[in-house]
Structure 1
Amino acid sequence: MVRSDDERREDARTTRAQGTKEGDNAALTLTELLRTLAKHWITAVVTAAIVLAGVITYLAVAPAKYSATSRLFATYSSTNNTENYSSLNSAGSYISTQVKSYPDLVVTKAVLAPVVEQLHYQGTMQSLQSMVSASNPTDTAFINISATTDDPQLSADIANACAESLKKLVETSLYPADQQSPVTISIVQPAVIPSAPSAPKKNLIIVLGIAVAIVLGVIAALLKNLFTRKIQDEEELSNYIDAPVLGRIPEDTTLDDTVPVIKQPGSSLSEKYRRVCTNLSFIAPAAGTHARLIVISAVGVNEGKTTTSVNVAAALAESGASVLLIDADLRHPSVAKKLGIDGAAGLAHILSGQASVKDVVQHYWKPNLHVLVAGPKPPNAATLLGSPLMTELLTQALHQYDYVIVDTAPMIVANDAASFAKQGGGLVLVSKRGATMKHELADVAAELANLNVPVTGFVANFARENKKLLEGSSYYYYYYYRDGESSDGSAKRKHRRKHKQVQSNRT
């Protein structure tokens, strides 16, 4: 049985909503890893820098250690009275057996006490033991005695003194006085003064430090991404709701005080809102009409839904379409303040039967742009917005306008947006980088999936913008010229020179 695209999308939304609740158990792909590092590169770099700084500090303060080694060789004494050792199979096996115990013998008091006396060592026996080590290479009669100190001369002296002390102990003191030692120790390679420190191994430590710094930097970025409670990138939105990003609006302080589409029509911000409108023009009209119902909301408060609503409405009206902008956020109305128009009478009066639509709808900017403000805050907002009168109002508006834009309350406050979108409109969610809470977005995704309300798309607010991609083009010059021209013409002259320089570099 072949499933439709709508069924597959619905399954994907449901699965994603459930997966977000339970935790994402999917393996991290290389692409996701790179995206995570790109989002949290500062954390990764700072962590790596701290690790490298620690490595460099360690190398700077760690004392240099010098190791010197003397090599000894054990042989069987041929002058020995062999009658006392007639039980031995051979001299070679005896030497092999004896020499294995000599490394442990080197660090005993019997060997080290003469060294202390010979070198006039001022430290304790325990400290001397920590400086000395010995080994017997496998299947050989060699004994290697090493001494490691912060003084190259002392290291050589200790190694040689230990070799002499072991030789004397084995040959003269280890066996009964009336028997000659069956083992002869020869110092085949005295220790020499080391010319370079043996520790710390700077090259190895630096290489390992770089590797550890990279690994910890990546881990830090992953942990920050895991424990960050807010959306940091618009690509994260698709992890919760299967919907495209309709537009990316960069951070700009002018958005707080003005409507760029109206006040700065040639600005880059205006073009970005026009891009959103272009994408919205492809949604299907409401059933039985040629109009499109666009419901704009957000997950949480202060994410820019009203700013998006007024700019989208203005951009659609600019293109010649008849537009009605409705402020349906009766709990916190803001369209009137945003546009600087009278907000005393509005939607609340219509829904409560105190006024008619024609009494409160206002013309704004262009003859084809109408605005229905919210009016005063009513005590029963949910009841009014869910009433049949509200449904009838939207139905009539869809027969009179090309576009009906509804600015609604955030989804965590109320699900009015879902109710409006059920009338055949497109639901647009505005998400502000660093403001949208992940767990709230997950709750909204689950609620919309349960209500079978699809999301048309996201508008990513405060999106990161790579201005370097525009600086080399005439479009960057055009936008800056329109937005940044000053009375003294300095901005014009500066960017005109920059534009000419870019053009000359191209040729």
Structure 2
Amino acid sequence: MLEWKALYMAENEVNRYSQSQSQTPVPAHEGMTIVDLLSILRKHIITIAVTFVVILGVDILYTAMSPVAYTTTTQLFATYNSSNDSANSSEQYSGSSYIMSQIKSYPDLAKTQSVLQPVVDELKLDTTPISLASQITVTNPTNTAFVNIAVTDADPSTAARIANGVAASLSNVVEKSLYTAGSNSAVKLSIVQPAQVPTKQSSPKWSLNILVGVLGGLIIGILAALLKDVLSKKIQDESDVTDIVDAPIIGRVVKDDILAGSSPVVVSEPGSPIAEDFRRIRTNLSFSTPVEGTNCRLVVVTSAGASEGKTTISVNIAAALAEDGPRVLLIDADLRHPSVAHKIDIDGSAGLTHVLSGQAAVKDVIQRYWKPNLHIIPAGPKPPNASTLLNSPLMTTLVANAMQQYDYIIIDTAPMVVANDAVIFMKQGGTLEMVCRRDQTLKRDLHEIADELETLDMPVTGVIINCAKENKKALENSNYYYYSNSSPAEKNRKNRKS
């Protein structure tokens, strides 16, 4: 057990940052860039893919279930039917004008009972004129004397027979019964292009429908991704964090049952991939700057809200650092919800609370764990005045003395939504590492905390993503994915997963 210097009384009170400092204005929202859009789409690629497959599948199913139909067209031409064979040009001109005025009504005339009932009777169709009208499309191209009759039917030969029958019936009605009963009318309709039996189906149109399905699936998928991103209240990946917090990602820890154990992973499973995640964090922390005037790096660990894994991260970082030989001290400064002692299964009945309240000396509560160079100060029992104790000169002195004795000090503090205790230790030169848990950390809380720390000029130094998505693809064909020095327990755990 290290013998510490006697604690001395410091200044009467610790300088606090004034809450009346001018607030840093929130920057105006800059419009979404192409890079931002691509980042959102990449983040929700599964949503886009699922939506695309569903829309395209529905489109294909609808097309496959649609009845097959064939369409054919008969074309008629209207002429002036003069009773005088030697009609002059003036009469021909007035006749043409008359035709152009009358022919506009023929598309509607063709669907009347007067035209369609004779067709039903002659072709012995099992339908009514009203039903038959729904199969017919009649058009008069602008400024022409043509009338086009298109008929759609499930049978191609029936479609052709109906089209020709309707053309003949319309011509007969126009010429013999529409204008002057018992005499020929001035308008004559001649079939210039009889309907042919179609050889290709007109519907369903597979190519068009598939194109619509593809485009619709992509558009709806992108809209679904954007909507999901807007409505998402929790952190889903690293980009959600970096969009809010201007700090680098110093580590990613995937979700694994091994983290629920009562000892750090570098102790229980030193050859596991999770242990390597914490060794990576250890390496990144080694590049941080020591507190001025010391060789010690003060690392303050916190989170936005509760249950985000900050204590688990703190314990494992401390063990990973001690594994390499440096002198490491882990302090449980979360006096409102002590958990370090429970996490590593040590006696937590006496701890920091007793020291700060003058009931015990540091040497009475500090414990050695796993290695001679790893020391733990548990929180002890919950005090009624946690903020007062942590802001006391005694706490400042304790940390200052510890920085003369250790290479690393890891301080596990309360979540920022509960209290900003982390700021107390940052004033002594510490770096702030924010733990963000995927699908747990609220974006709103992280926004508010980032703004508060920016106002205090104590921004987040680094971010650790807890329960990050596991990326096995990069190592799935590599010898590095499963470590050769894995313990039997680790190998059994992997075998159970596979």
TM-score (norm 2): 0.87
Give a deviation string over 1:153-178, Cα, whole Å, max 9, x none: 43223222211111112222233347
The offset of 1:330, in angstroms, is 0.9
The equivalent position to 1:63 in structure 2, one of 63, 67, 79, is 67
- Could you report, residue by residue, the CA deviation over 1:274-303 in whole angstroms, capped at 9, with x for unpaired residues? 221222222222233232211001111221
> What's 2:160 paired with?
156
User: In 2 relative to 1, CA 71–58 (structure 1 residues): closer, same or farther, beyond 3 Å?
Assistant: same
Distance 1:188 1:159 in 2: 13
**Whole-angstrom distance in 2 between the partners of 1:80 and 1:443:** 94
- 1:239 to 2:271 alignment: no
Q: Which runs of 5+ in 2 are unaligned?
A: 1-22
SS of the equivalent of 1:468 reads coil
What CA distance in whole angstroms lies between the structure 1 residues aligned with 2:412 and 2:122? Answer: 94
- For the residue of structure 2 that corresponds to 1:186, the secondary structure is strand
Inter-partner Cα distance in structure 2 for 1:394 and 1:185: 105
Task: Detail structure 1 runs of 4+ shifted over 4 Å in the superposition.
Answer: 81-88, 90-94, 484-492
Is 1:330 matched with 2:335? yes
CA distance in 1 between counterparts of 2:493 and 2:320 reads: 31
1:70 deviates by: 1.3
| Change in CA separation of 1:65 and 1:25 when aligned onto 2, cut-off 3 Å | farther
2:244 counterpart of 1:227: no
Distance 2:493 2:349 in 1: 44
Q: Is the 8 A contact 1:64 1:197 kept in 2?
A: yes
From 305, 316, 319, the counterpart of 1:314: 319
Q: CA RMSD in A?
A: 2.8
Does 2:191 correspond to 1:187?
yes
Q: Cα–Cα, structure 1 residues 159 and 489, in superposed 2: closer, same or farther, change >3 Å?
A: closer
Aligned to 1:502: none
Measured after TM superposition, the shift of residue 419 of structure 1 is 2.1
Structure 1 Cα separation of the partners of residues 252 and 310 of structure 2: 13
**Does the CA contact (< 8 Å) of 1:148 and 1:155 recur in 2?**
yes
For residue 41 of structure 1, the aligned residue among 38, 41, 45 is 45
Matching of residues 12-161 of structure 1 within 5 Å:
18=26, 25-29=30-34, 31-80=35-84, 89=93, 91-161=95-165
CA–CA distance in structure 2, aligned partners of residues 269 and 489 of structure 1? 15
CA drift of 1:124 comes to 4.1
- Determine which of 151, 171, 176 is the counterpart of 1:172: 176
1:354: which partner in 2? Answer: 359
Alignment check: 8 A CA contact 1:80 1:181 kept? no
Contact 1:80 1:180 (8 Å CA) reproduced: no
- Alignment counterpart, residue 350 of structure 2, candidates 339, 342, 345: 345
Q: CA deviation at 1:212?
A: 0.7
Q: Could you tell me which residue of structure 2 aligns to residue 377 of structure 1? A: 382
Provide the C-alpha distance between the structure 1 equivalents of 2:476 and 2:438, rounded to a whole number of angstroms. Answer: 24
Paired position in structure 2 for 1:3: none
Corresponding letter in the other structure for 2:268: K
Q: Judge conservation of contact 2:352–2:378 (CA < 8 Å) in 1.
A: yes
Q: Distance in 2 between matches of 1:368 and 1:411?
A: 30
**Structure number having the greater helix percentage:** 1
Tell me, yes or no, if structure 1 residue 422 matches structure 2 residue 419: no
In structure 2, relative to structure 1, the CA distance for the partners of 1:26 and 1:427 (3 Å cut) is same
Percent identical:
51
Question: Aligned pair count?
Answer: 473
Contact residue 231 and residue 434 of structure 1 kept, 8 A: yes
Alignment equivalent of 1:201, drawn from 200, 205, 224: 205
With normalisation by structure 1, the TM-score equals 0.86
Name the residue aligned to 1:293. Answer: 298
1:392 has 2:379 as partner: no
CA change 1:487–1:440 in 2 (3 A) is closer
Distance (Å, rounded) in 2 between the aligned partners of 1:14 and 1:482: 51
1:413-456 per-position Cα deviation (integer Å, ceiling 9, x unaligned): 11111222122110001111111111111111122122221211
Q: 1:202 to 1:487 in 2, by over 3 A?
A: closer
Following TM superposition, by how much is the alpha carbon of 1:254 offset from its aligned partner in structure 2, in angstroms? 0.6
Tell me the equivalent position of 1:412.
417
Measured in 1, the distance between the counterparts of 2:109 and 2:86 equals 25
